[in-house]
Amino acid sequence: MKRLTDFLLRPRPWLWALAVGLTLLAGFALRLYDLTDLPLDFAPTRQLFSALKARAMYYQSLPDVDEERRSLAIQLGGVGNFEPPIMETIVSQTWRLTGEHLWVARIYSSLFWVLGGLALFLLIRELTSNWPALVGLLLYLFAPFGVVASRSFQPDPLMTALFVFALWALVRWQNTRSWKWAILLGLFGGAALLVKNVIVFMLGGAVTGVVLGSLGLKRAVRDGQVWAVAGLFLLPTLVYALNGSLSGSLEGYFTLRFFPNLWMDPAFYFRWEYVISYVTGFGVSMLAAMGIFISGPKRERPLLLGLWIGYLLYGLVFAYAFYTHYYYQLPLIPLVAISLSVSLQLFFERFFERSPGLLPRLVLIGLVVAGTAWQAWVARDRLLGEYRHEAAFWAEIGDRLGHHASVACLTHDYGYRLAYWGWQACTPWYTSADIEVRYQAGLEIDYLKKFQEDTAGKQYFLVTLLGEFDNQPVIKNLLYENYPVYVQTDEYIIFDLEHPLKQP
């Protein structure tokens, strides 16, 4: 009882270290739940994009494998290089030891996210104190959306973790003005930008806010540390972008990404609010944002202002993706945790002043633990999926098509499920979402012309999105009226394009 009293009233550093360590372990353990299920529970298109690239790398160096299989794996993995394949390289190299298991990527993403939690705790403690830092860490680790998204096979969990490390280094640099923290800031920030450059808005906003708040524009322009940080930020990404431009691997990167017309549409902002509500809770996010007004004008406020302005710019630039691709919101979680810490610091100061005894602290800790446990249980329910049967389903379709067929398709995830488990490439037909994004971009679609282009020289047209098929009667009637059905089940249809009933 005395140790508990000491921990609650006069906690020692080693007890804080133990509490933080156990919290990090619990956050990591939660992300291992239902580990070996297929990665179709969150952003499956993006996860399978990385899975195909990782498998191509794995087969490229795999000894004693059928050369035809190796060639097919490399062909199916050639799905673009919009970001450096860092996660894919790590996973493919690990597969050389473990064999090809997609859950390996979940372990790495979870580990990176949890390590980012350590940086977040240190960052918030630098701004406030241990208690707000611990609550911020709990939010970061156990927000249900974050639990699911942070273990996905894509660059965003690693990018966000490096972003948090960069913010920690930024705050330490602000407080010490040492070259050590300037270099670390540049290295962490440059790595985050290299992993995925969309973090430039929030990272750039934070650095701009702190630099201008600490030095002012004139001193900043003459400061060698500021220039060193800028150079370390930009150099890796510029080298990759230059190489990608020369090789053509970044071709199409900017296509259908910017939609300024949405800024004038009120529905866009309501959708944005809905996404925030799902990710962190709209009320929590607004309370966090209001922390700007009670933060220290020289210390915390420049950082918070820069982060929130960066987040708003991020959302405006990627307006359509911001509410259709939820993983774009991952950096919002540490942003809310950091911003909320300012309000939490005031709460804990008043709480300790007015409730100095042991019992109030036990009650408060009980409420925090109960709330965290509830969030963890909600996250656990979201992690529990039933996707293992999908591998056999897509393998069956691949066998039907013959693996080397030329196929057009209206299917899940732009054909990536078919490519990964069915070992069959296909040219994807537009979904309703694809039509919507082109409508937002002001593009017109000539369906007959596109159909002729996409099916030219193809042997089959595969349909697994039966609801989408019904919603596109022009294409549905075109296929049924002009081509025989090769295979039809309750779950998919394959049309024979090589033997048309009549010319369309």
Q: What is the pLDDT of residues 395-437, one digit of tens each?
A: 999 999 987 889 999 999 999 999 999 999 999 999 988 888 8
Contact 465, 411 (CB under 8 A): yes
From the CA atom positions of the chain, what is the Rg in Å?
25
**Rounded Cα–Cα distance for residues 452 and 135 (Å):** 58
Q: What is the mean pLDDT of residues 360-379?
A: 91
142 domain residue, yes or no: yes
Contact 493, 487 (CB under 8 A): yes
133 domain residue, yes or no: yes
Q: What is the mean pLDDT of residues 228-256?
A: 74
Q: 43 — alpha (psi -120 to 50), left (phi > 0) or beta? A: left
> Which of residues 57, 80, 102 is at a domain's end?
102
Q: Is residue 450 domain-shared with residue 308, that is, in the same domain?
A: no
Q: Is residue 127 domain-shared with residue 161, that is, in the same domain?
A: yes
Counted residue by residue, the chain has a size of 504
pLDDT computed for residue 8 by the predictor: 59
Token pair, residue 372, equals: 């965290």
Q: Is residue 474 domain-shared with residue 335, that is, in the same domain?
A: no
Q: What is the mean pLDDT of residues 183-193?
A: 96
Q: Is residue 295 domain-shared with residue 215, that is, in the same domain?
A: yes
Q: Is residue 241 domain-shared with residue 143, that is, in the same domain?
A: yes
- The domain in which residue 442 lies consists of 390-496
Buried/exposed 68-93: b ≥16 CB within 10 Å, e otherwise: eebebbeebbebebebbbebbebbbe
pLDDT computed for residue 380 by the predictor: 94
Q: Is residue 112 domain-shared with residue 11, that is, in the same domain?
A: yes
pLDDT computed for residue 16 by the predictor: 85
Q: Which runs of consecutive H residues, i.e. helices, occur in 290-331? A: 291-294, 301-317, 319-324
**Rounded Cα–Cα distance for residues 416 and 419 (Å):** 5
Q: What is the mean pLDDT of residues 172-196?
A: 96
504 domain residue, yes or no: no
Q: Is residue 346 domain-shared with residue 319, that is, in the same domain?
A: yes
188 domain residue, yes or no: yes
| 198 pLDDT above the threshold of 80 | yes
127 domain residue, yes or no: yes
**Rounded Cα–Cα distance for residues 61 and 71 (Å):** 12
CB-based contacts of 395-401 (< 8 A; 24+ apart in sequence) = 395/421, 395/422, 395/423, 396/422, 397/422, 397/424, 397/462, 397/464, 397/492, 397/494, 398/422, 398/423, 398/424, 400/487, 400/494, 401/460, 401/462, 401/494
Tell me the pLDDT tens digit for each residue of 212-228: 998 888 898 999 999 99
Tell me the pLDDT tens digit for each residue of 16-65: 899 999 999 999 999 999 999 999 999 999 999 999 999 999 999 888 88
Tell me the pLDDT tens digit for each residue of 60-91: 988 888 898 999 999 999 876 778 999 999 99
Q: What is the mean pLDDT of residues 364-369?
A: 90
288 domain residue, yes or no: yes
238 domain residue, yes or no: yes
> Which of residues 52, 84, 102 is at a domain's end?
102
pLDDT computed for residue 6 by the predictor: 55
257 domain residue, yes or no: no
Q: Is residue 223 domain-shared with residue 124, that is, in the same domain?
A: yes
Tell me the pLDDT tens digit for each residue of 140-179: 999 999 999 999 999 999 999 999 999 999 999 999 999 9
Domains contained in the chain, number: 3
Sign, CA dihedral 176-204-108-92, equals negative
Tell me the pLDDT tens digit for each residue of 446-480: 888 889 999 999 999 999 999 999 999 999 999 99
pLDDT computed for residue 296 by the predictor: 87
356 confidence band (pLDDT: 50, 70, 90): confident
| 123 pLDDT above the threshold of 90 | yes
Q: Is residue 10 domain-shared with residue 159, that is, in the same domain?
A: yes
> Which of residues 70, 86, 102 is at a domain's end?
102
Q: Is residue 114 domain-shared with residue 98, that is, in the same domain?
A: no
Q: Is residue 97 domain-shared with residue 164, that is, in the same domain?
A: no
Q: Is residue 352 domain-shared with residue 407, that is, in the same domain?
A: no
Residue-averaged pLDDT of the chain: 91
